[in-house]
Structure 1
Amino acid sequence: MRVLIFTFGTRGDIDPFAALAERLSVSGHVAVLSAPEPYRDAVSSGVGFEPMATEMDRVMRAGMAELRGPAQALKLARQVSAAMRTSLHEQWEIAQRVRPTLIVAHPKALGGLHIAERLGVPFVPSLPLPFLTPTNAFPIPFLARPLPWRLNRLTYQFNRFTALAYGGMINRFRRERLGLPRMSRLSDYLTTRGGDPAPVLYSFSRYVVPVPGDYPATAHVTGYWFRETTSTWEPPRDLLDFLQGSRPVVYVGFGSMGFGAKAEERGRVVLQALQQVGVRAVVATGWGALAARSTDDIFVVKDVPHEWLFPRVDAVVHHGGSGTTAAGLRAGKPTLICPVLGDQPFWGRRIHELGTGPRPLHLRSATPAALARRILDLISREEYAAASTAIGEQIASEHGTGDAVEVLQFIEAAFAARRLAPNS
């Protein structure tokens, strides 16, 4: 196989696909990861890299850190739309160079579906949360609260949003660059133009989200995708020294949840809460999510690889991004999620339902006292630690990237067989 992988987003959106690309390469296939330039270091030896959506990444990083109100939000939306149009053309140029036999894409990379149609190769949407496939088991993860089961399946109509919101841009791209007919503004990712159900590859653990009984055979849940090579990241000496202390150390970080107007306030809440509890912490500022300074008990970093840091701390506190949640569970660490938006409340509920951490505390509702109570609960209850260890062992028993490669091989073979069938 020659597999072209398009992905966009934060580190949690990039690293799983880099792990898949690595496994494809080790298995004897050609794998090319296409993502923004700052993530070039995510690929391992033997994996190709093609930069894509670098301008959109730059716009998003700057916008999230500086966002302070409706005017900035409108400006950011215009900049993102312009960068998105550029990204579509970049994806097509990359596909012509790579000549893939199969395309895997995160839904945030809008071109994959249409480029695969133009090239006549299978397209496999993929993401690390149960977002695309309708089910009665739970509503689409972007909804903050559970619904009566009869309404759950209807919520997945939200997946038509991409076509509704960006249909004009996408249809221009289809017509002017790909020479394809327009698509319906009500289309979704789950039906091909030929009417066949599209396969979906989900990189989450069935031990964290049990596979719904009403999922079709085209929904493949493989387990999390983690790198198999050892990280070559070299920690600074002072961070290593900090982690050697006798008192518990927690990780606190909110990733890309910037919104710069609140960074100072969030930093104050976090530092006061940690002081009240009396624990030490590694605090990650991320994309300007919070502002803080190092002290004897606080070690401030911009970013640290989670796969290196999380096994070395006692608990983790974060916004609930799917990648960060997976890293904490894999490390077997009790987790407190302070969600902001999107699927983060979903993961917060799952953490609590699994018994691996307290009820989520929405970041906008966090006061020093409320956050301190949650952190104290997080580090003092033995049942959280026991449940987290058990989940970590279950996740370790999965073969996420290996199973994913097998699924992709099956999809490509089935696609080829259909094309060769007499009545296809």
Structure 2
Amino acid sequence: MDGRDLVRSVKAIGSAGAVQGLRTVRAAWRRRRSDATGLVARGAERARVPGLVRDVEPGPGGGVVRFDRTELRITVDVNGAVFWGWDGAGQEPSYALAGRCPEPDPRAELEPASGRKLHRSSTGAGKLLRAVNMARDAVGRMADDLVVAARTSEALLLAGTLAPFGHTVAEALSVPSFGVNLQPLAPTGEFAPPMTGVRSWGPVLNRAAGHAVNLAVEWIFTEEVRRLRAAYGLPRSGRVAAHRARERLGWTVFHGFSARVVPRPGDWRHGLDVTGYWWPYDREDRLPAEVLDFLDAGPAPVFVGLGSATVPDAERMSDQVVRALRAAGLRGVIQRGWGELRGEGDDMLTVGEVPHSLLFPRMAAVVHHAGAGTTAAGLRAGVPAVPVPVQFDEAFWAARLVALGVSPGAVPLRGFTADALAAALRRATSDPSYAHHARTLAEELKAEDGVAPVLEAVNRLAG
């Protein structure tokens, strides 16, 4: 289970009965793994008598459990370790829950101090360096699972950053593979590496930076690749040599975005193909009733959501978003996302997961973090956008939205203000050129079939 499930389980235990429920909770917290010895004094995990559970608020990687007389804040780290503290006190490590750590919540990577440091990095390169170090720490925990999954596979389709390790797995198991990227990660002189979030440095430096980013990704998997190659009797290969070997082989990489959005760079080698977007398969065919009622109650609102991006201060960010919408005279549909945004009032609706393919076409504009997937969903819907890039490739996609004429400009999270967002929203919703460009591009994207080339390649591998 993840951090949110852990919080819900505490509610289930506590509500079962005041006395017996609290005894069960106390017993769970006191069960500690042997490797926790010495982390904290036993007094730090003393039992409390907080009363009955009154409210539970699951959040990214954990949440808050409110009792009659106190509250317990729980966080599950990416390692599966439990951190908790009473009444706002600093959280301390606890190993619990019947002697077994819960499964890690991916969102928890951005909740502990190591993840929050990403927001303090002032440059894209700084964020990328921190992310590479975080990924290197985490990769060992998933490497064996990836090998196990690959053993029962007829082909491996490897997403961008997994390519160095995945290609080695494919070689070890004699399984065919190709890449499936959502970003243009191969070096090019035409633009700087998207993951750095910077503008072009010119052809020479752009290509050099692209190679540097790719080597940084290779470095994430160095130890696991070395271990895997030794285990399967493969010859040793360094980071640079492994990357060059894939290039010499002309290893196929499909890119799931449209050439109308990012034209294929002219200096890319053969085998790096831009196919068009890969749209998600939405099981729902109707919006939730509360969303439909809100949409029918007034003019088209503006969607605001940051998806999988986190923010340093959710309450402050939520307040500024609501103030910006009201200053621009617009209603809002605010998606909680990993940033835990929210809005209150008759002119605001806070939602959880809602299919973008159903919601976005009903919007006057969409405000999002400019991740690759959400950017694509907004373009598909044919509505103007105001990107709020947070980190990594989001500044790249935000710049593309502006260049395509579907956005008046980005409002980056660093330096974000209600006034800046309100001004951008006024332009996006009052200047008809943005809606016109968005609709025109959406019609062009409808004519593309990005899945067909990938499906054809899979069928060829299957023989």
Do they fold alike, i.e. is TM over 0.5?
yes
Aligned partner of residue 142 in structure 1, secondary structure: helix
TM-score, normalised via structure 2 length: 0.70
Q: Which aligned pairs between 1:88-103 and structure 2 lie closer than 5 A?
A: 88-98=143-153, 100=154, 102-103=155-156
Q: Report the Cα distance in structure 1 between the residues aligned to 2:294 and 2:160, rounded to whole angstroms.
A: 40
* CA shift in 2, pair 1:76/1:207, >3 Å: closer
Q: Report the Cα distance in structure 2 between the residues aligned to 1:217 and 1:71, rounded to whole angstroms.
A: 35
**61, 69, 72: which is aligned to 2:107?**
61
Partner of 2:171: 117
Partner of 2:314: 263
Contact 1:208 1:350 in 2 (8 A): yes
Contact 1:64 1:256 in 2 (8 A): no
**177, 198, 203: which is aligned to 2:256?**
203
Q: Any stretches of 5+ residues in structure 2 without a counterpart?
A: 1-77, 81-101, 121-128
Aligned partner of residue 456 in structure 2, secondary structure: helix
Q: Report the Cα distance in structure 1 between the residues aligned to 2:364 and 2:187, rounded to whole angstroms.
A: 37
Q: Which aligned pairs between 1:29-178 and structure 2 lie closer than 5 A?
A: 58-67=104-113, 69-70=116-117, 81=136, 83-98=138-153, 100=154, 102-109=155-162, 111-131=165-185, 133-143=186-196, 144-157=198-211, 158-176=213-231, 178=232
Contact 1:222 1:401 in 2 (8 A): yes
Partner of 1:29: none
Find the structure with the greater CA-based Rg: 2
Alpha-carbon distance, 1:129 to partner = 1.5
**203, 207, 226: which is aligned to 2:279?**
226
* CA shift in 2, pair 1:343/1:187, >3 Å: farther
Contact 1:104 1:125 in 2 (8 A): yes
**234, 239, 254: which is aligned to 1:180?**
234
- Note the alpha carbon deviations across 1:56-95, whole angstroms, 9 max, x for none: 9934312324557559999999886564223111111112
1:192 aligns with 2:246: yes
Q: Report the Cα distance in structure 1 between the residues aligned to 2:246 and 2:136, rounded to whole angstroms.
A: 25
Q: Report the Cα distance in structure 2 between the residues aligned to 1:273 and 1:166, rounded to whole angstroms.
A: 43
Contact 1:126 1:200 in 2 (8 A): yes
Alpha-carbon distance, 1:181 to partner = 3.1
Q: Report the Cα distance in structure 2 between the residues aligned to 1:405 and 1:275, rounded to whole angstroms.
A: 46
* CA shift in 2, pair 1:78/1:159, >3 Å: closer
Q: Report the Cα distance in structure 1 between the residues aligned to 2:79 and 2:181, rounded to whole angstroms.
A: 20
Q: Report the Cα distance in structure 2 between the residues aligned to 1:200 and 1:79, rounded to whole angstroms.
A: 25
Contact 2:398 2:410 in 1 (8 A): yes
* CA shift in 2, pair 1:340/1:123, >3 Å: same
Q: Report the Cα distance in structure 2 between the residues aligned to 1:212 and 1:57, rounded to whole angstroms.
A: 41
Letter in 1 for 2:256: S
Q: Report the Cα distance in structure 2 between the residues aligned to 1:76 and 1:122, rounded to whole angstroms.
A: 29
Q: Report the Cα distance in structure 1 between the residues aligned to 2:136 and 2:219, rounded to whole angstroms.
A: 14
Contact 2:328 2:422 in 1 (8 A): yes
| Aligned structure 1 segments of 4 or more residues deviating by more than 6 angstroms | 53-57, 71-79
TM-score, normalised via structure 1 length: 0.76
| Farther off after superposition, 197-206 or 146-155 | 146-155
Partner of 1:335: 385
Partner of 1:36: none
Q: Percent identity among equivalent residues?
A: 32
Contact 2:110 2:116 in 1 (8 A): no
Q: Report the Cα distance in structure 2 between the residues aligned to 1:384 and 1:71, rounded to whole angstroms.
A: 32
Q: Report the Cα distance in structure 1 between the residues aligned to 2:296 and 2:241, rounded to whole angstroms.
A: 54
The number of residue pairs the alignment matches comes to: 353
Contact 1:329 1:391 in 2 (8 A): yes
Q: Report the Cα distance in structure 1 between the residues aligned to 2:436 and 2:353, rounded to whole angstroms.
A: 28
**428, 433, 437: which is aligned to 1:383?**
433
Alpha-carbon distance, 1:380 to partner = 1.0
Alpha-carbon distance, 1:107 to partner = 2.7
Two-structure CA RMSD over aligned residues (Å): 3.0
Alpha-carbon distance, 1:230 to partner = 5.6
- Note the alpha carbon deviations across 1:298-343, whole angstroms, 9 max, x for none: 1111321211211121211101100000000011111111111111
**328, 345, 348: which is aligned to 1:298?**
348
**245, 260, 266: which is aligned to 1:213?**
266
